[in-house]
Amino acid sequence: MNIAFLNGSYLPLEEARISPLDRGFLFGDGIYEVVPSYGGKMVGFAPHIQRMNDGLDAIGIKFDWSESDWGDLCNQLIKKNGSGNLGIYLHVTRGADSKRFHGFSENITPTVFAFAFEIAPAPVADKTLAKKFKVSSSKDLRWDRCQIKSTSLLGNVLHFQQGQDQGNDETLLFNADNQLTEASSCNAYIVKDSVVITPPLDNQLLPGITRQILLDILRNDGSIKVEERPVSMHEVKNADEVWITSSSKEIGAVVEIDGLPVGNGEVGDIWLAAQTLYSAAKHNY
């Protein structure tokens, strides 16, 4: 049975109920997080909670749980749902109002919902076992505040589905200047001449925690050069390797974009080196 958390109580997920006037339901007015956990050990817990607090501040939801309150909740969900490979989903909305009104109400209590779901085992650093991602590309049609991990995900959902409808796993997104932003549910990178290059953090992309951890690991190790700078569509098309990262995937090797091979169409050597370093050091975060 999947045990969830809703507004102070643990209960079977299928019994969890919210008001249809919850602003998360009506407006997507909320913030969420997904924290990966393997064998009961979370990866990047503190930065995930920091990003959640940043998001709540950015949209003016006053909610003051401490890091240890969130830690207790996550550990309870792990305990109650078995300690396999879990994504811990955390979600705070502005709360349920008594009417539908766009403006913020002063006197409503935020809704807190959390549950655990199974994720794939962490990738092992082995080219023959690596999942080979195929992606579409598209103009990025989302909003100008993609740094906020908002539950309003329709733009991302439509871009993700665009890739699925073309038989692909994801969609790489490009801004009006044909520069790479990210993918619909992942950050994006190219590798050229053994240098890992990823777009800089700004309003066009989510500050991914996997990205933060990966860049830190690579910089500490020092054997692979890292650059954060704009990446043109031309560079993506001519890259030796392309990667996507997210909490439930770690580093995903992209071998095909719009039906054309990336580099030699195989999982690359720099992916192998980076995933090896990531697998070894991720539990330090």
Site residues (CB under 6 A) for ligand PDD?
Answer: 34, 156, 182, 185-187, 206, 208-211, 245-248
Is 149 known to be catalytic?
Answer: yes
As separate numbers, helices (DSSP H) first and strands (DSSP E) second, the chain gives: 7, 15
Amino acid (one-letter) located at 192: K
Strands 225-228 and 195-198: parallel
Q: Give whichever of 30 and 208 is closer to ligand PDD, judged by the CB atom.
A: 208
Instruction: From the candidates 134, 149, 249, 282, give the one annotated as an active-site residue.
Output: 149
| Nearest distance from C-beta of residue 127 to ligand PDD, angstroms | 22
**Cβ 196 to ligand PDD shortest distance, Å:** 15
| Phi, psi dihedrals of residue 25, rounded to the nearest 5° | -70, -45
Integer Cα distance of 29 and 113 in angstroms: 13
Token pair for residue 128?
């023959």
C-beta of 184: minimal distance to ligand PDD in Å? 6
Nearest of 31, 251, 255, 246 to residue 134 by alpha carbon: 255
273: buried, middle or exposed (CB in 10 Å: 19+, 13-18, 0-12)?
middle
Amino acid at 73: L
CB of 106 to ligand PDD, least distance (A): 30
Q: SS3 of 273, please? A: helix
- Comparing CB distances to ligand PDD, the nearer of 71 and 155 is 155
Where in the sequence numbering do the catalytic residues fall? Answer: 149
